[in-house]
Structures are given as C-alpha cells and as structure tokens.
Copies of this chain bind each other. A is one copy, B any other.
Amino acid sequence: MTSTQKGGPGAPRSNSDKPTLRTIAEITGLAVTTVSRALGGAPQIALETRQRVQRVADEIGYLPDRAAQRLRTGRTNVISLVLDPHEEILNFGTSIIKGLTEALRGTPYHLVITPHFRNEPPIVPVRYILRNRMADGIIFSRTEPFDARVKLLLEEDFPFVCHGRTELSTPHAYVDFDNERFAYDATKTLIAQGRRKPAILLPPPRFTFQEHMRYGFLKAVRENGAGYEILEGVTLDSPSEAITAHVAERLAEPDPPDGYVLGGEVSALAVMAALTDHGLVPGKDAGIVAKKTSNLFTPIRPQIDTIYEDLMEAGAEMGRLLLKRIGGTAPDSLQTLHRPEAR
C-alpha cells in the first residue's frame, strides 16, 4: 500500500482547513480583494479596516500562499545560492549560508541552493534560473575577471551579488575581500619576522583574486628588496596531498623559501605538514601567515599567524545588498570591500 493520505480524492491537498484570504474575507465580511489590499497596507483601505483585517489574520495564523503569489506576481521570494558541491573550499558554503540566512531572516525570502556540477560550466545553473525565473536574485562566488555569469546577468538586468570583483566596465554589486591587502600584509609580516625568501600559493589563475594576491605579494617583496617565490604546479584549490607533496619536493631542493603566504586553512595545514615531515617547525624554521576563515586553527599546534576573513559577514552582506538590488538600488552603490583584520 501507498502511504495513507488525508482528504478525499477530489481534494488536491490534504490540508483542507488552511486559512486563505477567503477565510479572512468570510470572517470579516469583506471582499477577498479588500482583504488582500488591507494586508498589503494599501492607503486606500481605511486604517481601521486594515487593523481589523491584520488582527484576524494574526489570530487565525494566516500566511499567504507562496505558489499563488508567485504565479500571480511573477515574484518568487526566493534567493538562489549557486554552490559548487565539489568545491573543496572547506567551509565556504557553510559560512555563506549562515550569513545569508541571517540576512534573509524576517524577510519573505527563502534560500534555495542551486548546485552546479563538476563537468558543466558555472553559467549553466544561472541560465536555468533565468530561463525559468526560479529566483528573484542570485548569489555566487569564484568570480572571474570577465565572468560570463556577470555579463549574462547584467544583460538581462537580473539582480545578483557575487563574491569577488570583475574587470568589466559596467558596475555590478559585489562583496569582496581585499586579497591584495591580505597578501601584502601577510608578506610584510613575514619580512618583519626576518624571513628572506617568502613564497605564496596562489588560487587558480582564472579567478580575479589571483591577480590581487599576486600583486599584493609582489608589492611587499619589492618594497623590501626581499627574495621571493611563487609556488607553481599547485594552487589553493589543489588537494592537500598535492600541496604537501609539492612543498616537500621543494624543500629537498636548494634554497627553499623560508616563509609562506597561504590563502586558506587547508593549504596552510598542508604546508605545515610538509615542513613537519621535513623536520622543520612551522613558525620557527619557516614563517607561515594564513588566511583564517573559521575557528579551525584554534587548536592547531604550533599556532601560526593568521589574518581573518569573515565569510559569515560576507554572506550576510551579500544578502543585504541583494535585497537592496531587488528593491531597485543602483549596482554602483552596492559594492563592499572588506578589509583584512589581524587576529
């Protein structure tokens, strides 16, 4: 047998006593239209009526049917977070989701996770959302300098906020972390510790912030006439085994770096593992300054220098900006750049 269902065969849904505008209309003796407008706060409805309707609505626990609203108005009351489930960024998704749900709290917006899969380009889920108006706004990350998603969304004039900037001339909403400053500060810290040859592990070159990181790093080493090295063959996206192996190899060669600027927790642990395996003590025999995006490092020994990026706040800010964008605010006033703070 199938599971038991309530309601007769003719009833499309089991919850037959769910209050609707009609319910309120019958109770108050008003027309459905009036009730709708009263709840919408239309000024043409008498104040007293508005209050009475609102009171009844609260009493019977009325909540508008989202499907009906969406069908009629075309607004979905949905924010879509396009997330790569294969993304190895450890807690990026979790933090962003935390922040987003906080920003969406108290609004009618729901958060829908739209995945994109490894073998398809990141524009695919965006196209899907646009074509079928699955959301009122989109949030995504891993932005590229000439990001195809940004171009498409700008063309369609569809609200979105991305994590990271582009090099496109049309302004758009974004929330970004000042990775140039991060890399600069981190490198400076290493140099101040007396490190003579800092190295940096960069993100994959297709991302905008790769150039930011590189620039900040190079600026710092040049200002101080220090030696430097950019780790090649691996990126921040590489699995930690690959990073560990690569650094281990490098340590066996002559003149290895004595400091590392690392843009993520996993990569920092991976480099620390290589150092440890080679008999070196991180923070002593080689300096490490890592970007910290969670409390993961707290119990890590030896403790290392970190610079904090608040991803939860980034998610919350993206949510707030997106709501404003949906409300019609111009994109060029919806751009946030978070400064790194030492921790």
> A: which residues have CB within 8 A of B?
1-6, 12-15, 18, 61, 63, 65-68, 70-74, 76, 83, 85-86, 90-91, 93-94, 97-98, 101-102, 105, 110-115, 117, 131-134, 157, 159, 239-241, 243-244, 266, 269-270, 272-273, 276-277, 294-296, 298-301, 325, 327-328, 330
Contacts and interface: CB of A to CB of B under 8 A. Distances in A.
29 contacts: A1-B330, A3-B330, A12-B74, A13-B73, A13-B74, A15-B74, A18-B131, A18-B132, A63-B132, A66-B132, A66-B134, A67-B68, A68-B71, A85-B101, A94-B94, A101-B113, A105-B115, A105-B117, A239-B295, A240-B298, A241-B298, A241-B299, A243-B299, A244-B298, A244-B299, A269-B296, A270-B299, A272-B301, A273-B300
A120 B86 CA distance: 32
Contacts of A70: 67
A90 B295 CA distance: 9
Contacts of A14: 74
Contacts of A294: 90
A43 B300 CA distance: 63
Nearest to A300: B269
Given A112-B112, A299-B244, A131 B61 contact: yes
Contacts of A114: 110
Contact of A85 (B66, B98, B133, B299): B98
Interface core residue of A102, A115, A244 (most chain B CB under 10 Å): A115
Interface core residue of A94, A102, A239, A266 (most chain B CB under 10 Å): A94
A301 B328 contact: no
Contact of A2 (B1, B110, B328): B328
B12 A72 contact: yes
A93 B93 contact: yes
A114 B111 CA distance: 7
Contacts of A327: 2
